[in-house]
Amino acid sequence: MRLDKLIVEQFGLSRRTAQKAVRRGQVEVAGRCCLEPGQEVEPGTPLAYDPNRPRPGTAARRLRVLYEDRHILIVDKPAGLLTQPTQARERDTLLEWAGRYLARKHGLDRPYLGIVHRLDQDTSGVILLVTASRALRLFQAVFRAHTIERNYLAVVEGVFLTSSGRIDMPLVADRGDGRHGVARILSQGFPAVTHFEVIESFGQVASQVACRFETGRTHQIRIYLAEIGHQVVVDPVYRPRSGPKFPVPFPRQALHAQALGFLHPLTEEAIRVEAPLPPDLTDLVAELRHRF
């Protein structure tokens, strides 16, 4: 069941209040803060709600800059933070954080920021923002041409039969239920390719895998891994709801954008940046090693 629905039932809140409480960090799932109202949670999972709990502090949520020049800003996005506002006009987004950072550093009232690609709210890791208008189209072209290295790390369910492989299935924006997915009629989908390599297996329960894009479609890695029976741990969309509960509680989808590499279209410099695995995923891997 969705987390916000469980909160409504357990604490008597309205649906909207429940969603706000989750996004403000006032809800814990099995002892861990969860910032995604749509997270699927098994009935009976311990929940805690503290309406007086403050938002995570500024120091703990400070923008972590991985690379910066006069054209771009590359940062390590924490899980739970939107890349940019949705129709609900959220104020606490990566775009807002980056704007404040640039305003403080350069003394600008309204610093320019352009979005070239996005990460899901609950995916952590490397993301590039454009800070000069003349660079936007150039970097959009780099991403469209797929001449960019994009590597992800994921903890997924099950154990692979092969240590590495290539997944090549066309994707569609609507697979029939309003969600992105694999095209059932090949001619109707957009081409997409992902390469994977198993880093570590944890008994028969889970695996840590590295994934590399040849293309970059929405939810590409999550869709592909679920399609081959190795869904990302706690994926709220593509994990089958009828499946057994994952044995180690985790508050978000276990996916991290590890590295980004490209040839800078303005300086012609080869750039490659990495974001280390965040503490929650490090703890998950350690727990799986210990138990399985």
What is the pLDDT at residue 53?
A: 67
Per-residue pLDDT at 42 exceeds 90: no
Pair (22, 144) in one structural domain: no
Reported confidence tier of residue 129, pLDDT bands at 50, 70, 90:
very high
Exposure class string for 39-61: b at 16+ Cβ within 10 A, else e: bbbeeeeebeeeeeeeebeeeee
Per-residue pLDDT at 23 exceeds 80: no
Active site residue 120: yes
Q: What is the dihedral of CA 33, 35, 38, 41, to 10 degrees?
A: -10
User: In this structure, is residue 34 part of a structural domain?
Assistant: yes
Pair (42, 71) in one structural domain: no
What is the pLDDT at residue 196?
A: 96
What is the pLDDT at residue 111?
A: 92
Considering only residues 186 and 252, tell me which one the structure prediction assigns the higher pLDDT.
252
What is the pLDDT at residue 179?
A: 78
Q: What CATH number corresponds to the domain at position 201?
A: 3.30.2350.10
Question: Across residues 206-232, what is the average pLDDT?
Answer: 92
Report CA 45 to chain centroid distance, whole Å. 23
pLDDT tens, 154-179? 999 999 999 999 999 888 888 877 77
User: In this structure, is residue 56 part of a structural domain?
Assistant: no
User: In this structure, is residue 58 part of a structural domain?
Assistant: no
Number of domains the chain contains: 2
What is the pLDDT at residue 59?
A: 35
Alpha-carbon gap, residue 129 to 118, rounded angstroms = 9
Three-state DSSP string of 88-152: CCCCCEHHHHHHHHHHHHHCCCCCCCEECCCCCCCCEEEEEEECCHHHHHHHHHHHHCCCCEEEE
Reported confidence tier of residue 61, pLDDT bands at 50, 70, 90:
low
- If you count them, how many residues does the chain have? 292
Could you list the residue range(s) of the whole structural domain that residue 238 is in? 65-291
Alpha-carbon gap, residue 48 to 32, rounded angstroms = 9
The pair of structure tokens assigned to 38 is 């749509």
What is the pLDDT at residue 133?
A: 93
pLDDT tens, 66-97? 999 999 999 999 998 999 988 878 878 999 99
Q: Which of 76, 120, 122, 280 is catalytic?
A: 120
Reported confidence tier of residue 60, pLDDT bands at 50, 70, 90:
very low
What is the pLDDT at residue 26?
A: 84
Average pLDDT, the chain: 88
What is the pLDDT at residue 58?
A: 42
What is the pLDDT at residue 55?
A: 58
pLDDT tens, 189-214? 888 899 999 999 999 999 999 999 88
Per-residue pLDDT at 57 exceeds 80: no
Considering only residues 193 and 31, tell me which one the structure prediction assigns the higher pLDDT.
193
Please give the C-alpha separations between residue 172 and each of 51, 117, 185, 251, in angstroms, as whole numbers. Answer: 40, 18, 10, 28
Pair (17, 69) in one structural domain: no
pTM above 0.85, yes or no: no
Pair (199, 74) in one structural domain: yes
User: In this structure, is residue 57 part of a structural domain?
Assistant: no
Considering only residues 62 and 117, tell me which one the structure prediction assigns the higher pLDDT.
117
Pair (84, 132) in one structural domain: yes
Per-residue pLDDT at 65 exceeds 90: yes
Question: Across residues 113-127, what is the average pLDDT?
Answer: 94
Per-residue pLDDT at 225 exceeds 80: yes
